[in-house]
Amino acid sequence: MEFASSLGAMIWHSATAAPVSRDRPIAVVGAGPVGMTAAAALATAGLPVVLVELSPSPQPDWRASTFHAATMELLQTIDITGRMHAEGLVVPTYQFRDRRDGLVAEFDFGLLADETRFPYRLQLNQQHLVRMLAERLADDDRVRMRFGTRLTGMAIDRDGVRLTVSGPDGAEEIRASYVIGADGPRSTVRSCIGVAFDGFTYPERFAITSTPVDLQELVPDLGHVNYVADPREWLFILRTPESWRVVWPVPASCSDDEASDPERLQDTLQGVAPYAPGYPVIDHQVYGVHQRVASAFRAGPVLLAGDAAHINSPIGGVGLNSGIHDAMDAARRLARIATEPGTDIEAELSAYDRIRRTVAVEYVQADTQRNTDRLRETDDAVRRRHQDEMRAIAADPERARAYIRRVSLLESVRRFGIGTPPLEMEGAL
């Protein structure tokens, strides 16, 4: 099959695709958690990689903080889970609560113990995984790390891709055999290949605030991960190794400055649990939340992964996890293409597109949307119905197991595999 680049007249064809080599490495754009996972997986398979990142150093920001079982299984293959466990917090259960009624249902990841080595959520702030991956990649001579270098343009031609970048020494061109675009929600790679990013933005933004105060001492039956429904101000409360993090909605009428006013933060935190000395705040951000999925995850030799391909509500903690699944899926397919003669390149790349996009729509988007709607439901009767449903699921071990397999993305990974050869996937889609 031929691919006509949306960039112009140049044509890429799998039959003339350049082999992966030191001169034509695989380019990964974006050294966030997804890009660095992809780079580490490709290097582990022995492939040359150039990693292009506009920031001068790895991202230090507080963002996602949950790693699910299926993700830990994948990260184990790049030898990073030992370090994650050394710094992370193992959380075997999570709670669904109602702000007025308290605990509604508790779910136990231990029900997955016969199926995974990691029957829990590992809580670890994203910037620590980024740091660990950067340290790991710095020691790997198969990976050229190009921090402080921005992708400005890209052209697909007959046998590969030409990337135009602008770095400390000015503009230059990098030739690559394949590209993984992991350059976040405003992806330049996605724009270059002309792929739409349709969906919607929630009217409310989310405020996320971190405090070292131990909320479990103040609310003794609180779990380590808690989704708290409320028609006026729902909450998402979770513990990470260095803090408790509380997320709440910021109405559209409220500016970022108003939402970040220290008195307002105190009022909200005091509403979660009164604390006379006042809450110290060690991090606070207000951010927009979206549900968007790229119209295609692949154009010729270019693949999109992570937030470049899909962005979601954080309720459920699966956005970053599924991005890591994209990265590992892409890396396994590219490794087969590069190292196993006779691999059907077109079938591999189009399987990536179909499978990862299906997971993004049918699991990640569907579940995070449903989770968010449950928390913010304003109709009392519907809220009660949700509560009854959650209680019924938690009380039935078979239903509870199916539920946590799904919310931890284990079900999607067992159904579609990660980078499973296309011939073995027939019938899955």
The contact set with ligand FAD (CB under 6 A) reads: 29-35, 52-55, 59, 63-65, 126, 150-151, 182-184, 188, 208, 285, 287, 306-307, 314, 317-320, 323
**Residue 317 C-beta: closest distance to ligand FAD, Å:** 5
We find the least distance from the C-beta atom of residue 351 to ligand FAD, in angstroms, to be: 21
Query: Cα(69)–Cα(59) distance, rounded to whole angstroms?
Result: 24
Residue closer to ligand FAD, measured from CB, 32 or 419: 32
Are the beta carbons of 298 and 174 closer than 8 angstroms?
no
As measured in angstroms, the least distance from the Cβ of 346 to ligand FAD is 25
Of the pair 74, 208, the CB lying nearest ligand FAD is at 208
Question: What distance in Å separates the CA atoms of residue 319 and residue 409, rounded to the nearest whole number?
Answer: 10
Between CA 195 and CA 181, with CA 187 as vertex, the angle to 5 degrees is 85
Q: Minimum distance between the CB of residue 169 and ligand FAD, rounded to whole angstroms?
A: 15
Q: In whole angstroms, how close is the CB of 287 to ligand FAD at the nearest point?
A: 4
Residue number with CB closer to ligand FAD (275 or 287): 287
Of 320 and 334, which CB lies nearer to ligand FAD in the complex structure? 320
Q: How far is the CB of 29 from ligand FAD (least distance, A)?
A: 5
Hey, how many other C-beta atoms are within 10 angstroms of the C-beta on 235?
19
Q: Nearest-CA neighbor of 177 among 41, 10, 298, 24?
A: 24
- Using CA atoms, how far residue 99 sits from 222, 229, 375, 381, 383, in Å, is 12, 6, 10, 15, 11
The 3-state DSSP composition of the chain as helix, strand, coil percent (nearest 5) reads 40, 25, 35
52 or 407, CB closer to ligand FAD? Answer: 52
Q: Which two tokens stand for residue 241?
A: 């190794």
Tokens of 243: 């803090």
Nearest to 429 by CA among 344, 358, 323: 358
Q: Which of 267, 281, 128, 287 is nearest to 209 (CA)?
A: 281
Q: Which is nearer to ligand FAD, 31 or 124 (CB)?
A: 31
65 or 116, CB closer to ligand FAD? 65
Q: Which helix or strand (DSSP H or E) is residue 310 part of?
A: strand 310-311
8: exposed, middle or buried (C-beta count within 10 Å: 0-12, 13-18, 19+)? exposed
Q: Which is nearer to ligand FAD, 14 or 371 (CB)?
A: 371
CB of 132 to ligand FAD, least distance (A): 14
Residue of 187, 419, 247, 252 whose CA lies nearest to 325:
419
Q: What tokens does 354 get? A: 């179909």
Query: How far apart are CB 314 and ligand FAD at their closest, in Å?
Result: 3
Shortest distance, position 95 Cβ to ligand FAD, whole Å: 16
Query: Given the complex with ligand FAD, which of 181 and 422 has the nearer CB atom?
Result: 181
